[in-house]
Structure 1
Amino acid sequence: MSRRAGAVAAVLLASGCLWVPAPAAAFGTIEGGGQHREHERITRAALACAAGTESSGDCFEPKSSDQLAGHRKSFGAVGAPDRTEVSDPAAHCDDADFLDGTYLRTRAQATESLLDCVNHLRGRFREAVGNAADLLDSQDEVVSAEVDLGTDCVLDTGSEQRAKCTTIEAFGRALHGVQDFYSHSNWADAADPSRPIGATNPPGLNLPAPSAVLDLRGTNAPTVPAALSTGCFVLRDRVPGVEACERRITHAGLNKDNGKVDPRTGSATQPTTPRGKVGDNFAKAVAGAIEETRHQWQELRAALEAGYGRQKASLMICALTHDDPLNDCRRHSRLTVVLVVSAGLIGLIGAGFLVARIRRRRERLMRSG
């Protein structure tokens, strides 16, 4: 979503008003004004458990998914940057534009802007790992007050104390940026073959997800393809660019922000932006964002295990993804208890058979003697 539209939308939603701003300039966070809650639907397609399915750690159950993806008027964690980071290009991977040949910016300048985004998202990712520590007490049991979802997570206020909420919010903010990367860059798309390559029609890289550029667990600078570009953004976002974006690749010309996304299958149809309408660019951007979202959840799980050990990480992952973690996420799971009890019963039954067999043998010996 454009930072201007995001700020207006936040005020309107908070006030309960149904009017929405003019068409947005990123994967959408609200329903209306040209947006279709694209961030929410991408996140659900990637990480929401199928209806009636218990999470095994690879998906989020309904209430937990609501906190991450958003629901009704709630932006959810993935939409939080469109409320409080609307003016920060690093939160949306903007302003990393470059075009080979005579261009206003060098490859090094564009890469520096892109690394600002990567480092910003790494910070959010590390924040999620750190906040997860408070999900468990000193006995490695889930803390009731830290995982209670009797009320929705309060995002963006600084007053939220529940560890499940703060962990999901930090992770959701990281997901917002990685999803925007696929919409705002030419990583996964193609140029319009009917027009010459230039600032209004930059080349497309047509690369798959996940992207090595988005190494959020890492600390080194990733390798950036020479032709990789995101769009320059100003409030008067248009093609050709104006103000600071004059004669540059613009967000308006490169984004694949809006269209219909099926939150169950991830199917992407009815694109509405110029670049999104070229070939299957919108579908590629959505598919890349979904795959990257799943990858980053796997990365977060791996980071939790590396930081806290396998047992603690397993409990943390369970607490984040389950709607009833107090019952579902104990050190000795229900399955373990069932197995232990079953083994005990089998042992008792076996012992009973053995005792009975010994008695019968003694009786036979007594009768024969």
Structure 2
Amino acid sequence: MRRLTPFVFLGATVLAAPMLMAVQAPPARAFGTVNTLGQHAEHEHITRAALACPPGTPSDGSCFEPRSLDQIAGRAGTFGAVGAPDTDEILSPAAHCDNADYLAQPGYARTRDQATKELLACVARLQARFAEGVTAAGGTLGADGSVAARETDLAKDCTFTLGVPGRNKCEAVEGFGRALHGVQDFYSHSNWTDKADPGRPTGKNNPPGLNLPAPSALFALGGGQPPQSTAVPAGLTTGCFSLVPLGCSGRVQHGDLNKDSGLVDPVTGATGSPGTARGKTGGNFDRAVQGAVTDTRRQWADFRTALVTRYGKERGERAACVLTHDDPARTC
């Protein structure tokens, strides 16, 4: 999900002009990235609920220690890698799984094939980000397999916007985090986990819900191969979003389908106070969040597997250790 108004807490690394543009831009959609202006840092809290190590517990590879988690999830005053697409990819449908809308009714504005093409473009974009992260992770180690201290130090926060290059740990985290953003948005922006409002007729303002479990097989990003179009459920839709007036006229719109806002406990993933009509229907906000949490954990497990596949067992496991540990030069 993305919003155009709130991206103002970027810190000193972002110039004043982009900040001013962000403030002046019209509101948009997505799980929230910051904790103000109607957002509740939903992306951050989902990521923390999925990937945080228990307090005081060293990582075993399945979770991230606090400082490393800050880089992925963000914290007060930063977006983190998972929020990066809401700073510089806000108008890219593929980064947020938008515009794959479809409704099985005569005369609908898009065919099933057109909607599927848009969805597969999102999957392909996220696969590319995932692969970028795997490639960058290799640079966290020296030729002899030892941890490259300069490439893994987190004395300063990573920068995840506008293509600014950084340390290899930061680059690896960025690829992974940008992939996570789109995966999490899929559950908010689509009807994968949804139920329609039973008190209203189904249609473009109340599309059918698929009520399917997570993780979705469509987002197996580590395999490198896009899903077959035949794997896309016939009734799957995401919302159409456009800044052009009437740009989504007659189509399933983002505003009618999204579950973008609400409260998410960053420790347990428990939810409350859904903020959209679709999110308030039949527990849809909670199902979208739980789907995003589940798939976020799947993505990290697949990322670890991809590291081993790419670099071999010893080097791949050490690279995963580097990404999850706050002082990898000492602990990995």
Would you say same fold, with TM above 0.5?
yes
- RMSD of the alignment, in Å? 2.1
Matches for 1:190-209 after TM superposition, within 5 Å = 190-209=195-214
1:135-187 per-position Cα deviation (integer Å, ceiling 9, x unaligned): 11111000000100000001214333311000001100000000000000000
Q: Does 1:234 align with 2:251?
A: no
How far off its partner does 1:210 sit? 0.5
Percent sequence identity is 53
Q: Which residue of 2 aligns with 1:321?
A: 324
> Structure 2: 5+ residue runs without aligned partners?
none
Matches for 1:349-364 after TM superposition, within 5 Å = none
TM-score of the aligned structures, taking structure 1 as reference length: 0.84
Q: Distance in 1 between matches of 2:12 and 2:169?
A: 27
Q: Quick check: which has more Rg, 1 or 2?
A: 1
How far off its partner does 1:235 sit? 2.3
Go from structure 1 to structure 2 and tell me whether the alpha carbon gap of 1:109 and 1:304 turns closer, same or farther (over 3 Å shift). Answer: same
How far off its partner does 1:5 sit? 2.8
How far off its partner does 1:12 sit? 11
Q: Distance in 2 between matches of 1:64 and 1:321?
A: 6
**Residue 97 of structure 1 aligns to a residue in which SS?**
coil
TM-score of the aligned structures, taking structure 2 as reference length: 0.93
Q: Which residue of 2 aligns with 1:26?
A: 30
Q: For 2:318, give the aligned amino acid.
A: L
How far off its partner does 1:243 sit? 1.8
Q: For 2:250, give the aligned amino acid.
A: R
Matches for 1:1-369 after TM superposition, within 5 Å = 1-2=1-2, 4-5=4-5, 14=14, 24-102=28-106, 103-218=108-223, 219-222=225-228, 223-235=231-243, 243-329=246-332
**Residue 4 of structure 2 aligns to a residue in which SS?**
helix
Bigger RCO (CA 8 Å, 6+ sep): 2
How far off its partner does 1:32 sit? 1.2
Q: For 1:273, give the aligned amino acid.
A: T
Count of aligned pairs between the two proteins: 324
Q: Distance in 2 between matches of 1:147 and 1:12?
A: 21
Q: Distance in 1 between matches of 2:28 and 2:248?
A: 18
Q: Distance in 1 between matches of 2:239 and 2:323?
A: 34
> Structure 1: 5+ residue runs without aligned partners?
237-241, 330-369
Q: Distance in 1 between matches of 2:26 and 2:160?
A: 24
Name the stretch that deviates more: 159-168 or 118-127.
159-168
Q: Distance in 2 between matches of 1:310 and 1:84?
A: 35
Q: For 1:165, give the aligned amino acid.
A: C
Q: Distance in 1 between matches of 2:226 and 2:59?
A: 33
Q: Distance in 1 between matches of 2:206 and 2:186?
A: 18
